[in-house]
C-alpha cells in the first residue's frame, strides 16, 4: 500500500494511469492463461484428443473473421481515441458501425457456405455444424472489441481487463455445468460442447462490456462524461457527417494491422488443415490424424495457446 502511494506521488496522473493499467492487464492476462491451461486439461478429458483436434481446426476460422472485422479496428479505435479524447465517442461509433457491418457479412457467409468451407477448405465435413457457433460469435466479438478499444483509448483499462476474466470464467463455468448435466443424463460429450462454450464466453463478455459502456462510460480528463451535442433533431445527419469525417483516418490505421493479423491467422488455418491432412495421407485414419493433432495443439502446448 505504501509502495503504491509512493509510486502515485512520483508519477504524473497520466503515467500513473499507464502504470496501473499495464499492471491490471498483465494480471488479468495471467489469470486467463492459467484458467485456460486447466480448461484445456478438462477438455482433453471430456471430448478427447480427436475432439480437441476438430475444435482447433474450426477455431482459426474465428481468428480470420476477428482479424477482418474487430482486432485491427479495436487497435485503431484505441489509437485514435487516445489522440483525441474529445472526439472519442464519435470515433468509437464509427469503428463500431464498420466492425458490426463487416461482422454480420462474415457471419452470414460462414452460415451460408458452411458445408463448402468444411468439406472443401477445412477438408473435414464434420466441422460444418460447428461453424454455425463460430459465425454467431463473430458479431459478439466485434462489439466487445470496439468497446474495449474505446476504453483503452480513454486509459480506462478496468472494463477490458475484467471482460477477459469474465469471458474465460463464464466459458469454463458453463462448459463444466453443461458437461455435468450431460454426464448425469447419459449424453455423449462431443466437440459441440467446446464450440458452445466459446460462444457463451463471447456473449458474456459482450453483455458485460455493453452494460459497462451504458452505465459506467469512461470519463474525460477533466472528470466529465462525453455527451452527444446533436440534440436539435439533426442527430442522424450529424452522426452521418461524423462517420464520413472519422472513417477514412480510422481505416488508414486499421488496414495495415488487418493485413498483418489476417496473414498470421491464414497461416494458422493452413497449419490446422495441413497437419491432419498430411497424417491422413501417410496412412493414418481421419480419427487418428485428428487425435494426434489434438494432442499436439490441445495437450502438448496448452500453456502457449489462448483458448
Half-sphere exposure of 188 (CA within 13 A, CB side): 4
Please state the separation of Cα 126 from the chain's center in Å. Answer: 24
Residues 280 and 289: their CA atoms lie apart, in Å, by: 6
> Could you give the dihedral angle defined by the CA atoms of residues 293, 297, 298 and 301, in that order, rounded to the nearest 10 degrees?
140
Mean pLDDT of the region 276-301? 71
Q: What is the pLDDT of residues 41-61, one digit of tens each?
A: 888 788 877 777 788 888 888
Mean pLDDT of the region 79-95? 87
Mean pLDDT taken over the chain = 81
Residues 155 and 245: their CA atoms lie apart, in Å, by: 24
Q: Quick check: is 227 in a domain?
A: yes
Q: Quick check: is 133 in a domain?
A: yes
Q: What is the pLDDT of residues 230-243, one digit of tens each?
A: 444 456 666 677 77
Q: What is the pLDDT of residues 203-224, one digit of tens each?
A: 999 999 999 988 888 876 655 5
> Where does the chain have alpha helices with state H?
2-10, 13-46, 48-66, 72-83, 88-112, 114-116, 128-153, 158-185, 192-215, 235-281, 286-294
**Per-residue pLDDT for 6 more than 70?**
no
Q: Cell numbers 488455418 correspond to what residue? A: 269
Q: Quick check: is 128 in a domain?
A: yes
How many folded domains does the chain comprise?
1
Range of the domain at 194: 14-300
Q: Quick check: is 306 in a domain?
A: no
Q: Quick check: is 143 in a domain?
A: yes
Q: Quick check: is 23 in a domain?
A: yes
Q: Quick check: is 2 in a domain?
A: no
Mean pLDDT of the region 177-184? 89
Handedness of CA 179, 61, 201, 115 (dihedral sign): negative
Q: Quick check: is 3 in a domain?
A: no
**Per-residue pLDDT for 197 more than 60?**
yes
Amino acid at each position: 500500500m505504501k509502495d503504491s502511494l509512493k509510486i502515485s506521488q512520483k508519477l504524473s496522473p497520466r503515467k500513473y494511469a499507464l502504470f496501473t493499467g499495464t499492471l491490471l492487464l498483465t494480471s488479468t492476462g495471467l489469470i486467463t492463461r492459467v484458467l485456460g491451461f486447466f480448461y484445456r486439461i478438462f477438455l482433453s478429458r471430456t471430448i478427447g484428443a480427436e475432439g480437441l483436434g476438430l475444435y482447433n481446426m474450426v477455431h482459426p476460422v474465428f481468428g480470420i473473421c476477428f482479424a477482418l472485422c474487430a482486432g485491427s479496428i479495436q487497435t485503431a479505435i484505441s489509437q485514435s481515441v487516445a489522440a483525441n479524447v474529445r472526439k472519442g465517442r464519435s470515433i468509437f461509433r464509427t469503428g463500431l458501425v464498420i466492425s458490426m457491418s463487416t461482422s454480420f457479412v462474415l457471419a452470414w457467409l460462414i452460415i451460408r457456405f458452411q458445408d463448402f468451407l468444411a468439406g472443401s477448405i477445412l477438408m473435414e465435413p464434420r466441422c460444418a455444424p460447428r461453424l454455425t457457433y463460430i459465425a454467431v460469435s463473430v458479431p459478439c466479438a466485434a462489439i466487445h472489441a470496439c468497446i474495449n478499444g474505446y476504453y483503452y483509448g480513454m486509459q480506462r483499462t478496468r472494463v477490458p481487463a475484467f471482460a477477459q476474466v469474465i469471458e474465460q470464467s463464464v466459458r469454463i463455468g458453463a462448459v463444466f455445468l453443461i458437461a455435468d448435466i450431460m454426464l448425469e443424463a447419459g449424453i455423449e460429450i462431443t466437440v459441440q460442447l467446446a464450440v458452445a462454450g466459446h460462444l457463451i464466453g463471447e456473449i458474456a463478455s459482450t453483455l458485460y462490456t455493453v452494460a459497462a459502456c451504458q452505465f459506467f462510460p469512461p470519463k474525460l480528463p477533466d472528470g466529465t462524461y462525453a455527451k452527444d451535442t446533436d440534440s436539435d433533431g439533426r442527430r442522424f445527419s450529424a452522426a452521418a457527417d461524423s462517420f464520413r469525417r472519422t472513417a477514412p483516418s480510422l481505416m488508414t490505421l486499421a488496414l495495415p494491422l488487418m493485413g498483418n493479423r489476417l496473414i498470421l491467422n491464414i497461416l494458422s488455418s493452413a497449419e490446422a488443415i495441413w497437419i491432419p491432412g498430411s497424417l491422413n495421407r501417410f496412412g493414418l485414419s481421419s480419427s487418428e490424424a485428428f487425435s494426434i493433432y489434438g494432442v499436439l495443439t490441445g495437450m502438448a502446448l496448452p500453456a502457449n495457446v489462448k483458448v
